[in-house]
Structure 1
């Protein structure tokens, strides 16, 4: 039996049980060994019967007598008396008739359960019991509690893990010996065993530290290896033309912020080198990232190189193309901007492709499908990726093949990334931050609204519409759900407000289940002010710019993460007009710490740190962290451990150790390199 053996080789796991384990992603013995508990119940403190108090307790006692009987409507009750030298206590089990035959009078057992009042008498209810002579799994210890599935309980998973304990002790070491020694880490086999059956809480902490360190080390090492490899690639060096940059800035209808100036300068320095740029620009919502990207593109276009700008949706691609056209028009470069998106007619597409091939068009704006399109981009000098996409190894290779060289890559995101994530998940990127917003922007006023205050809120919102402004209403669901009774759906809210409080207004509906072209039509109609109110799901979360929209109403705000709430709030207040965000709660109870923080600050970086603390990386990046990155133990809030893992990874690379001599580590790095998207 090895870690690769199928689960059915484990004693007591037949085909039916194996199927249930499979639902938890456990197919092999190795999967079982690395299926860590989600929490622990501490039954390690043994008490004497005379000193037990209501609550979770563990005793060591002898069974004096045990009986079972059926009572009303077929219910079965098993009762026993357990005694130690200090006294006796009653044990009660419901509908577990096998207990009477499974326990023997006169034998000593570890007994763990809840001591509570039942039918006017105190008893230990439905306790776990194990003979003193056996290795205890469910009693007299810190007991692991696993994520379960219907028909498969933690006790069965514990039993299966117990039967392969001998195999755990043979697990090979996966980290270099100097890494474990320098960082005072326990061996891998000891750590895995302690995760399932810790002797005490200190040992459990050491196990978490060891395995968490390993996960972070793998992640950081991968990022640093990608960064090192990128330095070996060759890019087209794009010189900085100061007069051209000054001319562009002089035609802007606003002044660049200091953050924008600094970021542009960092990009220009990167692009002058022959090693390809791989920079991420983090700009809080509405901080002016498109202007920075256009300034970068201008230098490439001036050299006769092409620029590919990839947006997450067609609607955004169209909006970006228009913005970029207007920014470049005063300099005479607007004619070189072209849009290439899926919904264009075949003849339009063909014409755009011909213009790109001939070099007449140098700035191509489209969706991520641009690199799949049959487009000849032999002069591609710069790629700009806006939102949602992490530009990974696969895409880089694809572009390199298409262009014959490695273009400079500039990624942009409006999701502020906490520093700890920036050092790990995004470790291969150079990062620029645009925190300040244009001076004419007023901070958005955020208010938490009780559902009882709707009438008053609707009056306030109607005043804004009367003043010529527009309103977003965002709902968590598309249609009603029985499972989520108090949760508002976009269809339901659209019907309610268009027939009720806002029947005198024009109300539109937009959600993710609509066809792409229908979504684009509705959004365009809202931009053209054909609707006063747009009821939507989170499809409007990323990037859509409607300067005339000043009100964002978020239904069931407590159902959204902080990062998502902040993105939604950023859809309004994008002009000189005051923006308002109303977060409507699901009920009249006191708002959570998360929502209070959301109302108190508009600093996206502060909110992202708090979201990471409260809800983990998934809150910021959808489900990537435990799905693709497969992080089970590591905590991104542990900056000390991240720092130690970074130092170890740096030393590993500098020492020129061969990754191939560490098979497990090499396999993990290979897998992590292949991950290219975060959303």
Structure 2
């Protein structure tokens, strides 16, 4: 294979060819030799253990048995034809069966020879059998690369199997390629890092990840390759952070003026918590440096992020700038708009709302007010990023629930001023620390980790369908006290595929249990027109209705302090973060609030763990950590959209210490050599230049 390298197209590998190459590209995105060597095994089978036939059990996974083939022959006709062999050891006899490749198998197998067989045992009519086992002539002296004690298992698909590219077929391709290509793999980490972190060379790691001869080799290979993945993510993120700090000048907010001080002394609805004060201090330090602020503000539902955002906007106004706040939905934008108006009261601050439903005449007036500087704060949805929306001097952008926005949408806001505005990114979806370090590693992170005084923790209960009458009784008790109740369903209509409670059936049940005129019900779901949704929500907000029946459209954006009960039907169908968000709709007043999780008795292990976690804790960060372990990073906080977490081996739920080591190392490197100009960092400099070191728009928020 002289002359070939890692970027050689996969069709040039011996044993592949055009047809197999085509299916490898479509099914596994393997286009080159490098793609194949980085298609890592997802588990390993321990081939050091041999089972005796009398030790086999029907519930065992794939096992290996050493024995002798004593007979072989075809039975049956046409479609029912199969090849059957008798296989024995010193404890018993079992049957081996093949339905495909019969002629080839019959030719290749030798009666009387000793074989090592591997497969899943099944029990039929009191005798064990194995269908399509892997067969290997036993040779105790053989020690080549394919005869491993830890056999790699690769992900495959039904389509690949049609081309003999099952796990064994992929293993054969790796056997062909890796012994040669491992020598061609260039080292990516400098020698001083390999030594200080006790890492093996990359070529050796690639060889041992595919063909480990023992557990120690496998662990060393995994550690090396995981560390590299996490290290280069941190290198890129922290380099971007350095660039932002050094290259992009930001507005200097050096005044704490009249507007801010008046609000602080006369308009605060409740004293700031220590966490809010700490975050405001961090923001003040950021906006006082002359560099652009890029800060992520995490805080559970109801922790007081909006007040912190408003005070930061007032700081911008006191320093001659405008501010804007972008939310992902019209409901949430309206919620923020009304909250800000209420908080500001009679302060001389101009606030307007811009959304898709803003009338044309109002838009024109709003655009003029933005351009002449008479409008201080603009709250809105995606409408804010339209080219027609221009500011006189935009100094601060607040983005709420940022993971719902695409990269380019956020970038357009960033470009709306000659001096980049400060960015405050908020999320009520707690992000596990490891995910925050990778996804937002180039942002400074603030956390509001305490609730305002007077708020009581929400009590959460898990009830089965058999306790429905008890749940109705509890609803009546709370409504009798003058409180209000949410009931959330996973579906609007009945589904043929899913046996779930749905909103339409729920309304029938509730109107029977809670008849007019004593009880009134609001109904809100995603298929309603915006004005109808708003009308129904306002009825509930004003206390004209006692029960709000909804789908998850109310996950964000409804603030009713008088609502004390959240009932979630088929709670096992929701993700943990969604359950936590829904629970956060109650507990907003001074009264004790409750969240009731209704479920069927049929619960998966994951479903059970989710509901147990919700009952056990109100801590959003603990919930997020469990969610990360259950779902992986791809579904949390929109990380798949970001494209940052292209991790092949590292796992953020289990490799937290390794991530911290990688980040600390990168911080130390940049402290010592911020431009990576020292000769020892040449490899790192090359890596970043290949990655394009220009500002990455997806990292600004």
**Is 2:524–2:551's contact at 8 Å kept on the other side of the alignment?**
yes
Match of 1:501 in 2: 513
**Is 2:269–2:343's contact at 8 Å kept on the other side of the alignment?**
no
Report how far residue 291 of structure 1 moved: 0.9
* Distance change (3 Å), C-alpha of 1:305 and 1:542: same
* Distance change (3 Å), C-alpha of 1:588 and 1:672: farther
Match of 2:291 in 1: 275
Query: Is residue 2:160 matched to residue 1:152?
Result: yes
Match of 2:116 in 1: 110
Identify the match of residue 84 of structure 2 among 57, 79, 98: 79
1:139-288 matches, within 5 Å, as: 141-153=149-161, 154-155=166-167, 156-166=169-179, 168-169=181-182, 170-232=184-246, 233-241=248-256, 244-251=259-266, 252-288=268-304
**Is 2:260–2:318's contact at 8 Å kept on the other side of the alignment?**
no
Query: Is residue 2:41 matched to residue 1:44?
Result: no
Report how far residue 358 of structure 1 moved: 0.5
* Distance change (3 Å), C-alpha of 1:120 and 1:135: same
CA distance in 1, matches of 2:593, 2:228: 46
CA distance in 2, matches of 1:135, 1:513: 65
CA distance in 2, matches of 1:415, 1:92: 54
Report how far residue 636 of structure 1 moved: 2.1
Match of 1:92 in 2: 96
1:465-614 matches, within 5 Å, as: 465-483=479-497, 485-494=498-507, 496-498=508-510, 500-502=512-514, 504=516, 505-514=519-528, 519-529=533-543, 531-587=545-601, 592-614=608-630
**Is 1:129–1:139's contact at 8 Å kept on the other side of the alignment?**
no
**Is 2:561–2:587's contact at 8 Å kept on the other side of the alignment?**
yes
Match of 1:127 in 2: 133
1:302-451 matches, within 5 Å, as: 302-333=318-349, 336-389=350-403, 398-399=412-413, 401-451=415-465
CA distance in 1, matches of 2:420, 2:128: 74
Report how far residue 583 of structure 1 moved: 0.8
**Is 2:489–2:502's contact at 8 Å kept on the other side of the alignment?**
yes
CA distance in 1, matches of 2:113, 2:282: 75
**Is 1:112–1:127's contact at 8 Å kept on the other side of the alignment?**
yes
* Distance change (3 Å), C-alpha of 1:343 and 1:50: closer
* Distance change (3 Å), C-alpha of 1:12 and 1:515: farther
CA distance in 2, matches of 1:546, 1:524: 10
Stretch moving more, 349-358 or 431-440: 431-440
* Distance change (3 Å), C-alpha of 1:226 and 1:553: same
Question: Aligned Cα RMSD in Å?
Answer: 3.4
Structure 1 stretches lacking a partner, 5+ long: none
* Distance change (3 Å), C-alpha of 1:207 and 1:378: farther
**Is 2:189–2:683's contact at 8 Å kept on the other side of the alignment?**
no
* Distance change (3 Å), C-alpha of 1:106 and 1:666: farther
* Distance change (3 Å), C-alpha of 1:375 and 1:179: same
Identify the match of residue 642 of structure 1 among 659, 669, 683: 659
CA distance in 2, matches of 1:180, 1:390: 39
* Distance change (3 Å), C-alpha of 1:424 and 1:519: same
* Distance change (3 Å), C-alpha of 1:100 and 1:139: farther
Report how far residue 433 of structure 1 moved: 1.8
Stretch moving more, 223-232 or 556-565: 556-565
CA distance in 2, matches of 1:518, 1:103: 73
Stretch moving more, 579-588 or 140-149: 140-149
Identify the match of residue 33 of structure 1 among 28, 34, 37: 37
Report how far residue 294 of structure 1 moved: 1.0
**Is 2:115–2:136's contact at 8 Å kept on the other side of the alignment?**
yes
Query: Is residue 2:651 matched to residue 1:630?
Result: no
Report how far residue 190 of structure 1 moved: 2.8
* Distance change (3 Å), C-alpha of 1:212 and 1:660: same
Helix, strand or coil at the partner of 1:432: strand
Identify the match of residue 621 of structure 1 among 623, 629, 637: 637
Query: Is residue 2:669 matched to residue 1:657?
Result: no
CA distance in 1, matches of 2:700, 2:244: 18
CA distance in 2, matches of 1:320, 1:205: 50
CA distance in 2, matches of 1:138, 1:81: 26
Report how far residue 131 of structure 1 moved: 4.2
Structure 2 stretches lacking a partner, 5+ long: none
**Is 2:54–2:91's contact at 8 Å kept on the other side of the alignment?**
no
**Is 2:23–2:160's contact at 8 Å kept on the other side of the alignment?**
no
CA distance in 1, matches of 2:332, 2:146: 56
**Is 2:255–2:315's contact at 8 Å kept on the other side of the alignment?**
yes
How many residues are aligned here?
A: 671
* Distance change (3 Å), C-alpha of 1:622 and 1:224: closer
**Is 1:311–1:385's contact at 8 Å kept on the other side of the alignment?**
yes
